[in-house]
Structures are given as structure tokens and as C-alpha cells.
Amino acid sequence: MNNQEPVAAAVSRFLAQDSSQSFSSYVIALSGGADSVALLHAFAQQLKKASLRAVYIDHQLQEASSQWATFNQDLCKKLGLKFDVIKVKVADAASLEAEARKARYKAFAGIIGRDECLLTGHHQDDQAETLLLQLFRGAGPKGLSAMPEQAAFGKGVHARPMLQVSKRDILDYCEHYNLPFVEDPSNQDTQYRRNFLRKKVIPLMETEWPEVKATLARASDIQASTQELIEEVASTDFARCFDLDKGLSISSLVALSPVRQTHVLRYWLQQLDQDMPSQKVMDQVLQQMLRSDLDAQPSVSFGHGAIKRFQGYLIWVNDVIDELEPVHETWTADSDLELRCGVKISLNWLKQDSPELVGKPLQVKTRQGGERFRKRNAEHTTSLKNYFQEEGVRPWQRDRALLILFKGEVRAVFTEHLQQG
């Protein structure tokens, strides 16, 4: 087997392309399967041993997982490489496969430092399977882009050098170098959709289209280019629509075509690191937020929060905003006030906002509704609703405001504790 063999050639190509990045070290995600074993061996032939280490993530889901750890340790010892094991706990969920993946990458993200590169053994067959899974979920160009060859990860980078290498080539590599590997029995279980594709669907497709895996991988590359163009346009549109203090401008959004509106919203949610909603939910957001009456207060919830509308802008509100328990406490206003709900009203704030109240016997209450507020040096009172509108306090935050009363009259309103978002 010469240097042009696909696995070794892919590693050589990767190292040549990424020499400019000067990674201080490489971390192989070593499961013990043929893919990661071949990747480990190929890198060990072309890199200094000191710059390469392997890490096995033990999901503790299989009885043999500890034996696989021992297998990987012995393999690394033979190759003269550093080796570590990280045990993770996988949450119970409908998709155990997805939860295991989430736990695995969370563990890797915690150990990849600056100038380090995580290497995984994903290959052309994996790419074809991923594209089909995304296609059957109704994904757009982003989902159909499948797995990128390289992306930012943790404090470093995650790379997949073998995406152009077939599974057959990987097995041939292991056979040529007499490399042992383990077989995870769960990979044979066709109850998992990826395994169903691998064992049932793709072999059937190959009877009619022998090169279907390579074709699907190329299609994924084309979708990745399309997605890159979409994100470039969305980034430009987003910059024109977004105000850091206020949110997404509705007037700027409605000036765009519906397709560009959708991509701006997706780009915004991506910047917020939020789960991407379905197209049905996205259509609901566009309909309610951009086309409902001006005096309406629409809210569309999904993921871990909601999109709301306020004073001509769209705002993302996290679920962590909880109702405030009723407050009714006295305050001598000569020191900071620590409330049982965890909110602190500082004396310095009162000195700046309402110095005439310092040292007075005050009452601190939560809003009940219908209260009126006398501003400093004002002859007449105003409704709290009008005050909140003037001060830009958002409707969903108003019940958490704290009213400060003197002689039964609201004289100050504390909103410093309200989350902006």
C-alpha cells in the first residue's frame, strides 16, 4: 500500500492544508472502531508522537465499554501515544443516540484548548447517511450541508480529515496494516435510523446507483456552498436590521423579501445560540410579528424562550424569567435592602434616583395593577402604565418591577433587576 492510499493521502492532504494554522497538538477521538483506529494509525505515521494524543469517551451504555477502554489503551501503548479515558453520563431520552452524541461532544469541548484540533473518523459513508437523514427531516441547505470538514470547536477546532474516504478504503487500510478494532453491537440495530439507512436503504440504492455514496457526498458539498452564500447575505441584512439595545427592527425586516426575512431570523437565532425552529414556527413568527396590528403584543414560544414584539422591534426572551413572588416589606432607607426573593435594592441607587426619600420610612411592594406614580417634584401623578411606556419597560417585565411607597404613595420604581431580553 503506497502513500497514495486514500486514508494516508487524506491525512497528508489535511496536514499540508492546515500547516499554516500550526496546531500545538491533535486529539484523536478514539472509539476503538475501524474508522478511529485507521485515523489514529495514519496520523501516528505522519506526526511527531508528542503532538498527538487519543481520548476515549466511555458512555457507560454497553457492558463492554470498559473493555474497549482497555483495548484503546493497549493500542496507544503500542503506538507510543498518550491516552485518556473520560466517562460521561448519558441522559435518558427518546433518542439515546442523540443524547450520547451530545454528552460526547460536551466532554471533548471541555478538553480542547487553544491551538488544539479534535480529529474524528467521519468518512464519506457517514456523510451520505447524514445527508439522507437531514433530507428525510425536511432540512434546508444548512442541514443538507451535513458535516463540515473543519469548524470552530471548544477553544480550538474540530476536523474530519476522512470525509472523502469511503468505509471500504478504511477497512482495507486496517487489513493492510493488520490493525485490530472493536465492533459496537449497537451498530447492527436497525431500530436506529442511521443503522436502518446503512443496512437497508443505501445497499438497495447501490443496486441501481453504485456510486450513490460519493454522489450524495458531492451533493452535500454543493449545499454547503449554497449555505455559505445564504449566510453572507443574511449577515449583511442582519447588520442593517439589528440594534444591540432594542433588537430586530420590524420596519427594516418588512423591507426585505419573505425569504430574506426568514434567513435574517434564523441568523439572529443562531447568534443567540438558540435551537432552530421548524419552518411552520418560522412562518408563524413572520405572520404574527410582522403582520399583526401595531397595538398587539404577539409572542411565539419555542425552544428555551420566545420571540416577542415591543416598540417596533423583535426581542428574544429566555424562559429563565420567572414570576416574582409578592413583596411587601418596610425599608428605613439608610442601608441596602436585601429582599427574600433575592433582589437587592442599593442605597446608592436610591440616592441617585430619589434622594428625597433617603432616610424615610418606606414600603416596598410588587405591582398589583392600577397604581399611580408621582415623579420627583411632579405636581400630578401618572399611571404606572404610562411611566413604563415612557421608560421602555417591556410588558412582560412590568409585573416584576418593585414599587417604593412613601406615605402610601408610589414615589419610585425599581427596575434594575429586570432582565433585558
Answer yes or no: is 35 a known binding residue: yes
Look-up of cell digits 447501490: 206
Q: How many residues does the chain have?
A: 421
Answer yes or no: is 156 a known binding residue: no
- pLDDT tens by residue, 149-179: 999 999 999 999 999 999 999 999 999 999 9
- pLDDT tens by residue, 344-368: 899 999 998 899 999 999 999 888 8
Q: How far is the C-alpha of 178 from the C-alpha of 172, rounded, in Å?
A: 10
Answer yes or no: is 80 a known binding residue: no
pLDDT at 72: 97
Answer yes or no: is 34 a known binding residue: yes
Q: How far is the C-alpha of 418 from the C-alpha of 23, rounded, in Å?
A: 43
- pLDDT tens by residue, 381-421: 888 888 887 877 777 778 788 899 998 889 999 988 775 44
Helix-helix angle 258-271:279-291, to 10 degrees: 110
Same fold, 6-208 and 233-318: no
Q: What is the residue extent of each domain of the chain?
A: 6-208, 233-318, 328-414
DSSP codes, 282-320: HHHHHHHHHHS-TT---EEEETTEEEEEETTEEEEEETT
- How much is the pTM? 0.72
Closest CA to 7 of 42, 37, 33, 34: 42
pLDDT at 93: 66
Q: How far is CA 24 from the centre of its chain?
A: 26
Question: What residues does 58 pair with on adjacent strands?
Answer: 87
pLDDT at 420: 47
- pLDDT tens by residue, 99-118: 888 999 999 999 999 999 99
Class of domain 6-208: alpha beta
* Sign, Cα dihedral of 181, 184, 189, 194: negative
Confidence of residue 378 (pLDDT cuts 50, 70, 90): confident
Q: How far is the C-alpha of 173 from the C-alpha of 170, rounded, in Å?
A: 5
pLDDT mean across residues, the chain: 89
Confidence of residue 290 (pLDDT cuts 50, 70, 90): confident
Class of domain 233-318: mainly alpha
14-23, 71-80, 361-370, 407-416, range with the lowest pLDDT = 14-23
Answer yes or no: is 235 a known binding residue: no
- Taking CA atoms, 287 is separated from 258, 262, 323, in Å, by 10, 11, 28
Average pLDDT over residues 74-98: 89
Answer for the pair 21, 157: CB distance below 8 angstroms, yes or no: yes
Q: How far is the C-alpha of 247 from the C-alpha of 65, rounded, in Å?
A: 48
Count Cβ atoms within 10 A of the Cβ of residue 309 and give its class: 0-12 exposed, 13-18 middle, 19 or more buried: buried
pLDDT at 19: 64
- Which are the contacts of 383, defined by CB distance < 8 A and separation ≥ 6? 371, 372, 373
Q: Residue 1 pLDDT more than 70?
A: no
Q: Residue 240 pLDDT more than 70?
A: yes
pLDDT at 41: 97
